[in-house]
Amino acid sequence: MTDAPTRIHVAGSAGTAPYDVLVGRQLLGELPGLVGDKAKRVAVLHPEALAETGEVLRQDLTDQGYEAIAIQVPNAEEAKTVEVAAYCWKALGQSNFTRTDVIVGVGGGATTDLAGFVAATWLRGVRWIAVPTTVLAMVDAAVGGKTGINTAEGKNLVGAFHPPAGVLCDLAALDSLPVNDYVSGLAEIIKAGFIADPAILELIEADPEAARSPRGPHTAELIERSIRVKAEVVSSDLKESGLREILNYGHTLAHAIEKNERYNWRHGAAVSVGMVFAAELGRIAGRLDDATADRHREVLASVGLPVTYRGDQWPKLLETMKVDKKTRGDRLRFIVLDGLAKPTVLEGPDPAMLLAAHAEIAA
Ligand code: GLY
């Protein structure tokens, strides 16, 4: 027998429907219930690497009486292109996919971003269900309705807010995740700890080695707590007109690092360095106490995440941050902390302050 899954509710916002995020083990039996009886067809969109899982889901849905097709897309970010989206639109068209039919996106954050985008654009929006298989996708990408693809000019430049009709986080999917991918996801979990739920930090600090394992004693609780933080934020501000910006804690520098590394760094690793930078900025701006600023470096390093970056790259990082899509005019914006779990915006910080914060993360 399996335990009942934890159900985290995301309220509808900006005219969108509410939905639940289910967290547990062996959840795939929940899928037909989410697809519902109005749908006749279901498209299971999965990356090459998850061909087997995609087929299991497709077969399950067929057994339940749906006309289920599988759409295989390239692995990871390779899938987030307009060409791959067009390939998916073609598959939907050839299967006579209608407005009441449903897309299921199974995979990491790139796959769920693509699946959500295809769902947002097909017939101006059909229902979709996210089945995230990485920590990062469970706690971030699959919840909150940001969907999109990349263009030659940058990541996520084309997209739509299109929340899923449900999210299934099957923790069994994490058992086979490479340790570096698992640990990278911990950065977003730790972010949720600093911006809103310090109990997350306490759980990790109590046994950092255990926190590095998907079989650790607190895996489910860490993931559930992080999803709750995100669910609460996006329930009140889907379209990032205010509160949602706090989810970008550490991300302004992180995006610049990722670009500078030609996206060969894991997102979580860049967010880790970005959070240490943001903590230093908060400290230098006279907002954040020393102990909480230092706690960033300690907890992130304790699970094996990076806390420094090549010092000679600062001019390039600064330039990139200035053209970040979240910058307003040429005023840089950072989320900093006024104290533990007290995120706020720091706009247009003095260049000397930025340089001083950078000195603290320069390797
Ligand atoms: N990943 C940040 C957000 O969903 O708003």
25 CA distance to ligand 1 middle (Å): 25
Instruction: Decide whether 6-174 matches 179-213+215-360 in CATH topology.
Output: no
Mean pLDDT of 46-66: 97
248 CA distance to ligand 1 middle (Å): 7
Mutate to test the pocket of ligand 1, among 140, 239, 246 (most ligand atoms within 8 A of CB): 140
Instruction: For 303-329, write each residue's pLDDT tens digit.
Output: 999 999 999 999 999 999 988 766 666
- The pLDDT value given to residue 327: 63
- The pLDDT value given to residue 18: 97
* Residue 267 CB less than 6 A away from ligand 1: no
In the chain, where the domains are located: 6-174, 179-213+215-360
**At 13, is the pLDDT very low, low, confident or very high (cuts 50, 70, 90)?**
confident
Class assignment of domain 179-213+215-360? mainly alpha
Window from 92-96, 214-218, 321-325 with minimum mean pLDDT? 321-325
* Residue 247 CB less than 6 A away from ligand 1: yes
User: Is the CATH number of domain 6-174 3.30.1240.10?
Assistant: no
Tell me the catalytic residues.
124, 146, 188, 230, 240, 244, 248, 251, 255, 267
- The pLDDT value given to residue 326: 66
253 CA distance to ligand 1 middle (Å): 15
- The pLDDT value given to residue 3: 74
- The pLDDT value given to residue 1: 42
Q: Does residue 38 have a pLDDT over 60?
A: yes
Write out the chain in H/E/C secondary structure.
CCCCCEEEEECCCCCCCCEEEEEECCCHHHHHHHHCCCCCEEEEEEEHHHHHHHHHHHHHHHHCCCEEEEEEECCHHHHCCHHHHHHHHHHHHHCCCCCCCEEEEEECHHHHHHHHHHHHHHHHCCEEEEEECCHHHHHHHCCCCEEEEEECCEEEEEEEECCCCEEEEEHHHHHHCCHHHHHHHHHHHHHHHHHCCCHHHHHHHHCHHHHCCCCCCCHHHHHHHHHHHHHHHHHHCCCCCCHHHHHHCCHHHHHHHHHHCCCCCCHHHHHHHHHHHHHHHHHHCCCCCHHHHHHHHHHHHHCCCCCCECHHHHHHHHHHHHCCCCCECCECEEEEECCCCCEEEEECCCHHHHHHHHHHHEC
Atom from ligand 1 closest to the CA of residue 140:
1
Q: Does residue 265 have a pLDDT over 80?
A: yes
| pTM confidence score | 0.96
- The pLDDT value given to residue 347: 93
